[in-house]
Amino acid sequence: MKNLKVIFMGTPFFSVPILEKLIEQTNVVLVVSMPDAVVGRKKILTASPVKKLAIENDIPVFSPKKIRDDYKIIEGLKPDIIITCAYGQILPKVLLDFPRLGCINIHASLLPKYRGGAPIHHAIMNGDAETGITIMDMDEKMDAGDIIKQKSLKINIGDNLETLSNKLSLLGRDIIIEVLPSIINGTNKRVKQKLAKVTYAPIIKRENELLDFHKSADEVYNLVRALSPSPYAYFNLFNSQYKIVSCEVTLGKGLPGVIISVAKDSFTIMCKDKGIKITKIKPTGKNEMTVKDFFNGFDKEKLLGKEVNNEE
């Protein structure tokens, strides 16, 4: 497949192992990634992980603000195929129709479940037992093309956004290399998605990060996992925000949202049915720390009986 002219479109770290394998197995002539973004408190303009990898391998990088208006460089390269993975923009129809082998997307869910930009988050949030990777044809609608190949992956109770993303990234890397020969030869079978089973996974917004302790402990725990290690789920207490870095479900009795127990290295907030025992947090403006360290110089006893997310 070294003669296969590939244009790869991707942006986050999730796409990096896939691009690495495509560079090894095919002829990647161009990488398209989102424009450099401001990152961190110091607001440093930073290239995407995919762009950095392309530069390391002396592959040209193209970062249009709006690819629907700026794509002529792609047509000029006459690629055999365009492969996308978590790129961040919808391709115009003229690009979808241009490569002789079409445009192929690597999506981190078992389509038609979880179309959209945050399928991994939603799989964890909803407590799903499994997820997977779908290799699909691209069309003008978001994640709506015919399915070429799917493989499932078990979601472990200890998985969070980072660990599950890493597993799915490697699975996507392996599957695309597996199916490319059949795409080239035109021997693969493609299956239309069942519209009755379509669900969506919209991008997580700031308001989705606030924990609701009136829900079950499992729901709260799943949201913490789905947003770890970034941006983290949080609660409000003493007019400050506290992000939960590490917690577990535990038995407990009391009113939802109330801190029902305090220990030397943890405290427990009651949910609808059980408690959430918190062992590591990130206070606003500070680094992550254990609750034991947080309690140094802090009167932990004043936490007991306090209701979170209910500042007067």
- Three-state SS at 303: helix
Q: Any idea where the domains of the chain sit in the sequence?
A: 5-197, 207-303
Assign 298 a pLDDT band (cuts: 50, 70, 90): confident
pTM of the predicted structure, to 2 decimals: 0.95
First to last CA, the chain: 65
Give, in order, the Cα–Cα distances in Å from 75 to each of 80, 90, 95, 136.
11, 16, 8, 22
On the question of a common fold for 5-197 and 207-303, the answer reads no
Q: Which two tokens stand for residue 153?
A: 């992956």
Model confidence pLDDT, tens digit, residues 191-234: 999 999 999 999 999 999 999 999 999 999 999 999 999 999 99
| Topology (CATH level 3) of domain 207-303 | Methionyl-tRNA Fmet Formyltransferase; Chain A, domain 2 (3.10.25)
Burial code (b: 16+ CB inside 10 Å, e: under 16) for 245-266 equals bbbebeebeeebbbbbbbeeeb
Sign of the torsion angle spanned by Cα atoms 299, 305, 308, 310: negative
Model confidence pLDDT, tens digit, residues 89-120: 999 999 999 999 999 999 999 999 999 999 99
Assign 312 a pLDDT band (cuts: 50, 70, 90): low
pLDDT at 51 over 90: yes
Q: Which residue shows structure tokens 């400050």? A: 240
Q: Which CATH number fits domain 5-197: 3.40.50.170, 3.90.1170.40, 3.40.50.10110, 3.40.190.10?
A: 3.40.50.170
Residues 6+ apart with CB under 8 A from 171: 132, 133, 151, 153
